[in-house]
Structure 1
Amino acid sequence: MNKLRQVIQRLEREEHLIHFLDAAEKLYHHLGLTRDNPKTAVTVLNNPKWRLGVNLHARLVLALYNKQGKDKLWITMRKSDAIKIKEIERISDNSFALQKGEDDDVVAVTVSAKQFIRQKDELLSGLLAMAGIYSDLRKSTNYKKYHNHELEELITSPTLREELLKDSETFYFKHLIHRYKEYWGTAPVDDEIFKWKAISHFQRHFDMDAENFGAMLKECFSEHTRLFYHIGLSAFHYMASYNPDAIKDIFTTISNHEMSLSARFSAARQMAEEIARQISDDTAKPFKQHFDERQMSVILASMFPDRYPIYKNDIYQLLLEQVSGDKPALAGLKYEHYSQLAEQFRDTISRDKELQSLIDERIDGHPFNWDSSLLIFQDILWVNKRMNDTEPDEYGEKDDSNGNTSGESQELDVAKLELTGENILYTRDDIQNDLFMDIGKVDEIVELLLYKKNIILQGPPGTGKTFFAKRLAWYIMGEKDNDRITTVQFHPSYSYEDFIRGYRPVKDKFELRDGLFMDVCEQARANPELKYFMVIDEINRGNLSKVFGELMLLIEHDKRGPAHALTLPYFRDNEPEFYIPENVYLIGTMNTADRSLAMVDYALRRRFVFITMDPQLNAAFKKYLQHLGLNEGIAEKWVEKIEWLNEQIRSDSSLGESFCIGQSYFCTGQPIDDPKRKFEQIIRFEIEPLLHEYWFDDEKKVRRLITELLMA
């Protein structure tokens, strides 16, 4: 549904979508087709072509797409019918005969959506006449594996189309509810009920006037280990034992319904920071308080489950992407935005009798005396995310037999609490296990990035540059927190307006919108104690002076912070000058075999440290191959063949070291049952095309190299 929603949002007008769906429905009716019939496949393409289509047998016969801001339709018909219609923009050359010997070929005509509406009867008549004959010639379509059931439901159900037009957000949310119901039909009985149990346990034990407030809280949250991050929960308990009165003040502040959620969060976070500072001073050890919007949401949802939903950033992102289409709020404002959206769908949840019945059946026998619509809301989003990502547990952590997460004790001491983050920890051992690189070099790269703040990982294809970039960020953060890593891929048409800020078309007007880098900087300014990373893949493929603009100056490590702020070309009224925070780090990747290497601006080169990533065909790589199922001898032979090929590449004066083959081509990530067949597949379908590019003028050499590689 997300893909379908993305395409629909790109259309010029919803009216054009309805006319397309109506035409597709008439095609179905004319041919006597039902849902999931073998003759048709309706398809949705969202990148790079944004298109809704109906495929009959092997042909696309009807499509709606947006090109350069204008909606257009593609319709197939006989050439003799097409030439009778006026104002056709284009008749394709890709014609085909309905039957052997026929002179009257079938062609595809392109018309604007407005013209389609004006001449709908003529165009549909041509489509249906062609389809009636073509449908009888074949029994099934070759495109069924690309079939989109949601689009077909819109085609065959006028009621669904009315719902989409009336309230598109509710329409998309109902789809998430539908998937949620499917999950409940197969889920273990207690799979998600722990949330209801945890909140009920909190309600029974919470007492704002408890004599020992810290001990009372510990009991209240004793069943919340799957709702809190383990370090965040431990830090909170430690602060409560250290200064229970201050924690009580935090509870009083966040319970003040007269204040906005964002104001409550800001005040509570400052109070938590003060407690953390006191602990650091008293213990002479750094202490981080880890109080964030997620933690506040769990506390509020436990205290007032009928008023506040549980929040987590990844399900908030899913809600934006698949339902509302809104831009993410800034850090500190996200929970407030998320709660507003939750209220919007409360009635949809409470009115769904089937959904309520499923929940009641699961929680039967448990005394829950509060409206759980907002808890169901969170659960719907989480289950849909898990169905999308097949994650092992709600926060990427598995429970051990004691109810702890990731095998870590919930009673972490102050020394352990100084580790940053609330996600799965990522340590020196983890990065050593993930990489084939010497840990000494990793530490050197970390030192360079922390000093220079900007690095570019350059190297031959397949050396794991992007893979390493993400793990480098995790290693510096000490945790797997993808919320603080933003990845973008540059390309020749990528612009300042995409990356920084610019005007973009929104329906019938233009709006000033922030780009990805602006969003990262806003988050970093809101959380100065945390590090944020932007990974720019294929950085040399963009016009870098054009993309960075005046920020070419500000990305320098000694030009960060408000002292170097400047006014952006696109600015809003009363907006302060812009600066890049100290806690933003740029990691670019660059393929040295790319002929566009010379496009890297020399001014930009001065602002980055360049790290060369060589092929890692070492003992660690051989051990990895053995882990996949190769015996020691075969693993050794694979490495010898790759090294032999790389020597051929190095010795060619037109190529050299920068064009060598990296280890990533052979990192399948899955067990290898047939090493000979897998090696041949990699050589034939991944390495050989690359060699043809290298020696485009010497086919004999490529054939000789491939033959040598595949010899036993």
Structure 2
Amino acid sequence: MAFEPNKITKEHIRNAVSRIKEEGIDLIPSTRWDVCIDKEKYPPKDIMRYAHQEMNGENLWIHSGGRDTNRFLERLGFDVVEKENISNPIKELIQKYKVDLRQNNLASEVYKWKLLKKFQGRPNLNAPDFYEEIKSIDYSNLIYGVGIGVIHHIAKDRPEPYRDCFITLFNEEFPLANRLQKFSSETLKIYRELQPNPKHSHHHDERTMATLLTYYNPGKYALYKDSFYQKYCQLLGIKSKKVGEKYLHYLNLLDDFISDYLVYDNELLELVNDLLPDDAFEDENHKLLAQDILYRMLDGVVTPSQKEEKAFQDMLKKSSTDDLNVYFHVLDRLIEELDIADEAKLTFSTSELLSFQIGIRYCLNLKGDKFDFIAPEEYTIEGVHKGQFEGKTQPSFFHKASAEVVMQHYPAIKQAVQSELENNKYSNKKKHDNLAFRKAAFDKEYRTSMFDYQEIKPMTTKEIIRPFEKPAFPLNQILYGPPGTGKTYNTIELAVELITGKKDISHSANKRTFDRLKREGQIEFITFHQNYSYEDFVVGIKPDLDHADLKFRKNEGIFYKICERAKQDYEMPQKQTSSSSPKSFEEVFDEYFKPLIDDGKEIEIAMKSGKILTIIEIKGNSIRLRYHSGSEKHSLNKDILKQAYEDRDAFEDRNISDNGNYNNYRYVLEELWELGKQYNIVKHLKNYVLIIDEINRSNISRVFGELITLLEEDKRLGAENELKLTLPNGEQDFALPPNLYILGTMNTADKSIALVDIALRRRFEFTGFYPTKATIDALAAEGKVHDDVPALLAAINKKIFDKKGADYLVGHAYFINELTDTDLVKTIKRKVIPLLMEYFSGKIDVVRELFSNSGYTIAYDTDNYDWAIAKA
């Protein structure tokens, strides 16, 4: 059946949710977004997959996660929200990777980009000699060494049957799962003809097949290794799949990783783009980048344990630098004798064995606050580990499995070293060509930031240079009212207005801006609960689950982090630039491209890397480009350029199609924006907003502690009564800047918070949100609620007000987009009546009487113990 996403209705989604609940179907948790359906949260892609099945019987969803999927749900009236994790391990993973890039560039892994550039589309299935074709492809360490040997063996002795296997594997007309299964089984049959011994594996496992697919079509497939796949599953808190299903699962996870995080991280994409050489594969879909992040951060670099470090230090304290020459020589011999590359004993390949040897040579000692490294010159040449060093001395830690082997044979190593020294077989004065050393320093601070990463704190407090200005809006504000009145919904509008100064913009546009500002760190959103504490919110310590022994690490809460970001911006000098009226796109386009249009002079744009992007021709709506590498296959569309010029937010949120050409558009747009003075105005102090949903659900005194005093306007930095406090962790002079706004929401129907008002009243201004007649009539006029809703709510809310007061009214949000009679009745039955039964302690007669004169009658069926609802 066809993939028909646009035919999915709200009813299909609700039916899918009902089925998931009834059958207890396990869903794959999303990494970043959840869709809210009937006050419960679900992973968007899985919901759409089962909704598609409800629609036409096909359990299918081919759109990537993130915005591509979220838009379908939002169009149908469902809220899609970002997960409310205080600590996001995936963001931390990406941040670690950025730290590594800035320190090491792509030195150890750039060979993958080069290999895919050189061999993409290979093997050529029509090559006259398939064995020569296979043999000419360099798979490097992306396939185990013994696996490459098997590939060459089969290709040489059975080239045509083997070619048929590849034709099957690359045939996109069939599902990938079928192709993988058939390729594995058919290659095994061929290999058994050559090697009947069942103990010998044919090594065409999921890693090998992933590499073959990626070489052939790197835009669609990704490199894979089971070790970091397993670790990524652990990081997400999900179960890994069984053999044969892992690569498919991995590709789905990778798609979500890319769509939820990488496509929005311009800093990362620019950093990587600037580091890639001219002969690197253009990874437009970010598959290779995603794999590199997971491999490097979860599997590729492992530090020695404390026990291992101590053992090496103990040995090295007794050895001089010259003695180490002997140690290395002996270690080479022991590595050969111990046969540690035997795959039956270890799970690393020959290339990883080289990494192990290099790592041992690098990691010598810990002295003071620095690691000291010594590297043999012979290990800096390209070819030993496929471009790992490229002529530079870069540290390479040994794998954990390798370290365990070294420690296992440590006594033998030590004895051999002592024996060599005693026999004086190798004089300390004798120089060996293959043991020429050079020193290299490796700062311990980098190691800490790489492997024990915690978000780097902004600069410490400096002399305040910005005078205090009374904020135009209250710094602390709580939106309060009964449930379903749009309190949380309106925090989006208010937060965007506080930061941008723009008001009366559509909610969808505000939501895009809100999401962008959240990604950029100017907005944080959190929901309080009864177990929330000061340590979660401000600062404290938490158990470090990465260590077997009980250890604790410093935890910086969401309040502390956004406060520090706001304070850093507050303490920075105000940037002064001239302002002028912006020019139209047509004016700027004609002015900027005049040399090319009139005289044919090519226009060069300097990229951040120092490389040149050249505009070579304008033909109709097409603007042709030339890369620094000489490639001329990319072009820009003038209409898209105009859209992006006029709506920068939409472009940066990737809501304007860029044909996968985002960075090229960005380089040209920055030139046009500057020329048009589009954003060349006085840069004011940036505001930051912390939204605390359900602020009344926690113990305010416990969560805020002494900081509740700092919230007051006159206690902020630069104010008349500026106040600074010492935090429990010893940090001194902690204060709140005046550009940090706090928005809270409070449900007045929850009377467990009666005392909170007293504690917060002096620090917060309160804005009421109620289901007023004007609000409900406006929603009905806009077609957002059923025509019966105004009369229905007016009737029941009047009676509720008379009995219990305004704090218990029924909000209009329950009825948004429930436009059919069926939807309205279902909402009354499943949402409104349960709420009213809670309000009135389960008194059926009282609840039934509330609906008199509402246009609907309700009755409780004591035979079926259910409510019957009818239109009057």
Q: Tell me whether the two structures share a fold, i.e. TM-score over 0.5.
A: no
Greater relative contact order, per chain length (Cα 8 Å cut-off, separation 6+): 2
Q: Which has the larger radius of gyration?
A: 2
Q: Report the TM-score when normalising by structure 1.
A: 0.39
Q: Report the TM-score when normalising by structure 2.
A: 0.33
